[in-house]
Amino acid sequence: MNSSKLLITLMVSLLIAACSTSPTGRPQLITKSDAELEAQAASTFNAYRSTLPLATDRGKIDFVACVAQAVVAELNPPYSDIEWELAIFEDKQVNAFAMPGGKIGVYTGILEITEDQNQLAAVIGHEIAHVTARHVNERASRGSLTGIGIEALAVIMGGGYTGGAYTASQVLGAGAALGMELPMGRGQESEADVVGLEYMAKAGFDPRAAVDLWQNMAAKGGKTPPEHLSTHPASETRIENLIGQWQKTLPIYNEALADGKNPQCKKTW
Ligand SMILES: [Zn+2]
């Protein structure tokens, strides 16, 4: 390959990188390196794990792991090739997140809202869809998290800490700055809903449970909505959109059942 040919190849691959398409066919501007975001996410996830209290209740751990494993098993390459990591934090927050590179975090608070495996699968499917649809990269490419993200990371990952111990609020601050917990755009939210429903249905979880989940969130939120609710607004439009997906996702669910995919993740506490 001569040098001009190499240059052309490079330019073409740059163009492809910039004009990418989301899982629902939406054109996306992607200019950031996935590898770089994944490395940042891995550091943040490790900081979370070494700082926040991890759940010790075997029943809760098994329940979440059972649902997460079943959903992850339905992903396509390259997401089926990565080793997904799961951390369950003992925390009253009604929240869950997933980070680039395949990191899933679930707070035990959300287990009080999710009544069964199907509702938890709706949460996990939604969060994983944010990753497979590269929503963090898209936000970073738009410039909405450079600056604060880099600054917060510099504070938390950088110098000053000789003992290597971070406080929970510093860790949470870095996570938020990286766009893990800040609200995604409206388009990204509904896309995560749509893609998440597909994942859960493929795994043999009833996609209709997503409606119950968001209704529970709204009902239990009361006047001060829980974290997850405030970052993921459960509007009537959202519920209508979820119901609008049944026509597409119920056949996927029935096919999964016919294929013998019948997860048995139980709440034992
Ligand atoms: Zn979301």
Domain ranges of the chain: 33-258
* Rounded distance from Cα 247 to ligand 1 centre (Å): 22
Would the pLDDT of 33 be above 60?
yes
pLDDT recorded at residue 244:
96
Q: Which residues lie at CB < 5 A from ion ligand 1?
A: 192, 232
Q: Which string of DSSP letters, residue by residue, matches 1-48?
A: --HHHHHHHHHHHHHHHHEEE-TTS-EEE--S-HHHHHHHHHHHHHHH
* Rounded distance from Cα 234 to ligand 1 centre (Å): 11
* Rounded distance from Cα 42 to ligand 1 centre (Å): 19
Q: Are 138 and 120 in contact (CB under 8 A)?
A: no
* Rounded distance from Cα 196 to ligand 1 centre (Å): 10
pLDDT recorded at residue 184:
63
* Rounded distance from Cα 186 to ligand 1 centre (Å): 9
Alpha-carbon distance values, 45 to 4, 50, 120, 260 (Å): 42, 9, 21, 34
Mean pLDDT comparison of 111-125, 136-150, 212-226, highest-scoring range: 111-125
Would the pLDDT of 8 be above 80?
no
* Rounded distance from Cα 2 to ligand 1 centre (Å): 46
Q: Are 54 and 162 in contact (CB under 8 A)?
A: no
Angle at 227 between CA 223 and CA 231, to 5 degrees: 100
* Rounded distance from Cα 55 to ligand 1 centre (Å): 23
Would the pLDDT of 150 be above 90?
no
* Rounded distance from Cα 37 to ligand 1 centre (Å): 18
Q: Which two tokens stand for residue 91?
A: 């925390």
Please tell me the least confidently modeled range out of 3-17, 33-47, 65-79, 217-231: 217-231
Distance CA 190, CA 126 (A): 9
* Rounded distance from Cα 182 to ligand 1 centre (Å): 9
pLDDT recorded at residue 253:
98
Distance CA 223, CA 77 (A): 42
**pTM for the whole structure:** 0.81
Would the pLDDT of 230 be above 70?
no
Q: Are 87 and 45 in contact (CB under 8 A)?
A: yes
Would the pLDDT of 147 be above 50?
no
Distance CA 71, CA 201 (A): 9
